[in-house]
Chain A
């Protein structure tokens, strides 16, 4: 492994508690990171989102009449790439009692707060709804699995990252960056949750 990625990872770890990676990186490391992002046609703004996710920084906003809901559960667009989908329900939402996805895609009443759902139970281009029951309440959500060109584009970028000779944790950060950029927020957060 080259020296650069190792140094960069250390910088990332040291600065984990700082507010913004842009200010935390020195010019040389920032330049290196920016060149990698540029090679992959990724924007630094989306790397910032991956960084926020790593630091448990929740995004601003939400509807005034809606309660907060768990952060790492599927919503919006979701990529099925064959791997199980990792889901996380933070402790503040209570202990998971059951989780199910519509159309018989998944259902279980014996789960911990971190669990996986097999991707094989779902199909591309379909809409799904889920419901989660915890000791503190019931939560609902929906998502749509991507297909066609959108899926091809996302998988191509992920394959390019996979082929890079860089540290595995940095790969995760870049994968999350790519997923955020392709509006696959659940997949991105799930990637980050896997290394926490």
Chain B
């Protein structure tokens, strides 16, 4: 319960940083429909691991033209339901993850409080409890404000990078790499500016861009990474390669879809609940049946993580193409050149889809993994067609 209160406090602090007015307005609205929100959020969060077949009936599906044939179905392995798929916008219908702090925070609070009550009334037996639902909800909704990400996470990560001698200082850029990188970024962000205008329903992004995106050049490796708070770190070697423009667009998409934010939230939530997890493992090991159930549940949870990571890569590919097509700063020829080079790279780091993995492989997956190369290439090709880039 203490831990739940800690999360709750964190939510409230975050909301204060992002604007009390919006928060209270949204909180008032959401409290009036709390009953509905509680059941909806908890059901969505817990359905994936509870094996509730009814969930499949109300599964929203992505646009067929924009997704690979079985994007939804392939994730049923290990109990991962299509309700989870709906959490990631695989087809990139919206370039920017809708971010209304009030709704997200109150939605999470609702599910979290409900979860806490369940734990309390069941005498603290956390097995299959709503506490797990609260945990899932905390990982799936966005409640970390961009201001907090930037002030805390971004600067910590940036500090690491600078201390590690790996970031090229802007004043030391003899080859004009920042000029090149900034020009690519500017072209990509044009698409997001136009998307913001089209999304007036999204109050947050229509008032201001969610991030002041900054690009940093790393004198190491040959890839690019996105970091919560609006930071894109790209290697100097990548800037000399054909796939640069698409890779950067892909990383910007991770930021705008707030994938990194969710990763941080998941880590936060996991860390504050670690004691309960230990208790759970200890209690379940007292009999074979309990141990088997627990291990199955752990594998399902791990599978969800693997799925989140893989689906985020797919979603970022979709948005990466959409942003380049909408931005119109990159010619069709150059987009194709970049995506072809990118597809070639994916062959080198190809993973397996969840349906191809054994349970042991799921357990052995790193927290962040990559989709199967063929799936990814197929998905990229479909999106090139969708945006008439082919």
Contacts and interface: CB of A to CB of B under 8 A. Distances in A.
Nearest to A68: B366
B221 A59 contact: yes
A64 B225 contact: yes
Contact of B164 (A43, A60, A64, A66): A60
A63 B225 contact: yes
B233 interface: yes
Contacts, number: 72
Interface in A60-90: 60-67, 75-77
A125 interface: no
Query: Chain A contact residues: over half helix, strand or loop, or mixed?
Result: loop
Contact of B224 (A49, A57, A60, A63): A63
A66 B349 contact: yes
Contacts of A5: none
A140 interface: yes
Nearest to B310: A65
A52 B165 contact: yes
Nearest to A67: B366
B370 A61 contact: no
A61 B226 CA distance: 10
A49 B165 contact: yes
From A63, A140, A141, name the one whose CB has the most chain B CB atoms within 10 angstroms: A63
B224 A185 contact: no
B370 A59 contact: no
A75 B223 CA distance: 11
A128 to B, nearest CB: 14
B222 interface: yes
Interface residues of B, number: 30
A65 B309 contact: yes
A45 interface: yes
A62 B221 contact: yes
From B160, B218, B349, name the one whose CB has the most chain A CB atoms within 10 angstroms: B349
Interface residues of A, number: 24
Given A45-B165, A66-B370, A75-B237, A59 B225 contact: no
Interface in B183-232: 218-226
A57 B349 contact: no
B313 interface: yes
Interface string A143-187: 000000000000000000000000000000000000010010100
A45 B349 contact: no
Given A65-B309, A76-B237, A57 B222 contact: no
B164 A63 contact: no
A21 B208 CA distance: 43
B172 interface: yes
Given A45-B172, A65-B349, A67-B366, A60 B222 contact: no
26 contacts: A43-B172, A45-B165, A45-B169, A48-B165, A49-B219, A59-B165, A59-B218, A60-B160, A60-B166, A60-B220, A61-B166, A61-B218, A61-B225, A63-B224, A63-B225, A64-B225, A64-B226, A64-B263, A64-B368, A65-B313, A65-B369, A75-B237, A76-B222, A141-B222, A142-B222, A180-B219
Interface of A: 43, 45, 48-49, 52, 57, 59-67, 75-77, 140-142, 180, 183, 185
